């Protein structure tokens, strides 16, 4: 008697995960070890601004959320944690917390090489802002690749819309991202772009336009992340006042799957969700449940019988006319100008905001069309 067992599918059967990419490229499992090297950020120390992004409490992605241990201690604890769940024997030093190129090149070289001292650290992944990557930094990273090391540059773009970036006090625009992305890839440095879904004022049309923009510029990897509200942030105050509504779990899963389908199959997904620890997370509650979200994305792709790239190259979204919410006596500090305006040439275009997470205080009508942040997928 023949017994047919059900086919068990994994997320890596539907998308090209970072872990699967490394396994295919190098023949063995390689895991990231997240590090906090004690960097700060120009959007916090006054060079670009004070207070940082409206959503940023660095404890939400900072390993331990406290004063960092030495790099060697962090690497040691990372090895032990990974050893409990995998047989990996090689690692990437992932400079994650804050802006990891915000220092003199000689200092950066010393830190990066310190992290790669042990033979089992076979490369780097460096997370940073687009406005903090000089040509000298790119030359440094390219030099490591010439030595045979794995190197990834991760740029926190978050959105391709300058209006959104201004609204969340990001301190840079699309222009800076484009310049660094082009120069990095010209030097052969693999580039991973970070995109956040659920930013104030954005809806699915923005998410697709941002994806299209980074694909048009050129990219090798992507990280998708739901915006979550954490303690001690400007966004937390806006959420409490009812000025911001986070995405619901099913909304995020649907949007993430839509983007995955439209992403060419050779692009490496370093992450398709992100979490914050329960002690600082305010909303949405589901952002503390990484596996729940990953399983939901896998199940939704399975339900659709789709996988990454199956709709790559499809036409971009056209946004229909939408009437915005009527005005109320109290105006939202998030509005920041007339809805539907496009203040900068670097912005992809004006976009309707009905269905967005920003609670608008306007009665305008918008008509427009879109022109052409540890993580489980780091080690999946």
- Under 8 Å between Cβ of 154 and 128: yes
Helix spans in 150-196 (H): 162-167, 174-186
Q: Is residue 361 part of a domain?
A: no
Q: Provide the pLDDT for residue 229.
A: 96
Paired tokens of 104: 């003199």
Q: Is residue 349 part of a domain?
A: no
Q: Is residue 344 part of a domain?
A: no
Q: Is residue 201 part of a domain?
A: yes
Q: Provide the pLDDT for residue 238.
A: 96
Q: Is residue 262 part of a domain?
A: yes
Q: Is residue 52 part of a domain?
A: yes
Q: Provide the pLDDT for residue 43.
A: 75
Q: Is residue 34 part of a domain?
A: yes
Give the length of the chain.
Answer: 380
Paired tokens of 300: 């939704």
Instruction: Decide the pairing of beta strands 150-158 and 191-197.
Output: parallel
In the chain, how many domains are there?
A: 1
CATH of the domain at 156: 3.30.750.200
Instruction: Decide the pairing of beta strands 221-226 and 229-230.
Output: unpaired
Q: What angle do CA 149, 153, 230 make, to 5 degrees?
A: 130
Q: Is residue 330 part of a domain?
A: no
CA distances from 75 to 9, 65, 72, 81, 300 (A): 32, 16, 5, 10, 36
Reference 92, options 378, 380, 313; nearest CA is 378
Range of 156's domain?
Answer: 11-318+372-378
**Sequence-separated (6 or more) residues with CB below 8 Å from residue 258:** 204, 207, 208
Q: List per-residue pLDDT tens for the chain, 380 residues long.
A: 454 444 445 999 999 999 999 999 999 999 999 999 988 887 777 777 777 888 988 555 454 455 778 999 999 999 999 988 888 999 999 999 889 998 999 999 999 999 999 999 999 999 999 999 999 999 999 999 999 999 999 999 999 999 999 999 998 999 999 999 999 999 999 999 999 999 999 999 999 999 999 999 999 999 999 999 999 999 999 999 999 999 999 999 999 999 999 999 999 999 999 998 899 999 999 999 999 999 999 999 999 999 999 999 887 654 443 333 333 333 333 333 333 333 333 334 333 333 556 654 333 323 233 333 333 333 33
């Amino acid at each position: 008697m023949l017994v047919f067992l059900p086919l068990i599918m994994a997320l890596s059967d539907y998308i090209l995960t970072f872990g699967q990419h490394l396994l295919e490229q190098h023949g063995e499992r390689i895991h990231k070890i997240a590090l906090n090297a004690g960097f700060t950020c120009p959007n916090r120390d006054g060079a670009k601004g004070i207070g940082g992004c409206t959503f940023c409490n660095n404890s939400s992605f900072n390993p331990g959320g406290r004063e960092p241990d030495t790099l060697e201690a962090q690497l040691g604890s990372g090895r032990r944690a990974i050893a409990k769940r995998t047989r990996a024997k090689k690692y990437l030093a992932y400079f994650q917390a804050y802006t990891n190129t915000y220092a003199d090149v000689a200092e950066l070289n010393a830190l990066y090489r310190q992290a790669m001292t042990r033979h089992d650290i076979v490369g780097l992944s460096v997370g940073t802002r687009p406005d903090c990557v000089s040509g000298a930094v790119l030359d440094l990273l390219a030099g490591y690749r010439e030595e045979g090391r794995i190197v990834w540059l991760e740029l926190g773009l978050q959105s391709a819309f300058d209006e959104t970036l201004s609204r969340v006090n990001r301190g840079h625009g699309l222009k800076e991202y484009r310049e660094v992305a082009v120069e990095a890839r010209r030097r052969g440095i693999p580039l991973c772009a970070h995109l956040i879904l659920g930013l104030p004022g954005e809806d699915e049309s923005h998410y697709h336009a941002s994806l299209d923009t980074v694909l048009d510029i050129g990219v090798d990897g992507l990280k998708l992340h739901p915006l979550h509200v954490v303690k001690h942030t400007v966004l937390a105050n806006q959420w409490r006042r009812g000025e911001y509504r986070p995405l619901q779990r099913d909304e995020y899963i649907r949007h993430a799957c839509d983007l995955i389908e439209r992403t060419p199959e050779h692009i490496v997904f370093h992450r398709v969700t992100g979490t914050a620890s329960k002690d600082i997370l305010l909303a949405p509650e589901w952002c503390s449940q990484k596996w729940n979200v990953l399983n939901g994305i896998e199940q939704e792709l399975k339900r659709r019988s789709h996988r990454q790239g199956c709709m790559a190259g499809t036409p971009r979204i056209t946004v229909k006319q939408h009437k915005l919410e009527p005005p109320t006596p109290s105006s939202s500090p998030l509005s920041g100008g007339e809805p539907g305006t496009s203040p900068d040439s670097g912005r992809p275009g004006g976009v309707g905001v009905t269905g967005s997470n920003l609670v608008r205080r306007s009665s305008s009508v918008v008509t427009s069309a879109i022109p052409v942040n540890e993580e489980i997928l780091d080690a999946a």
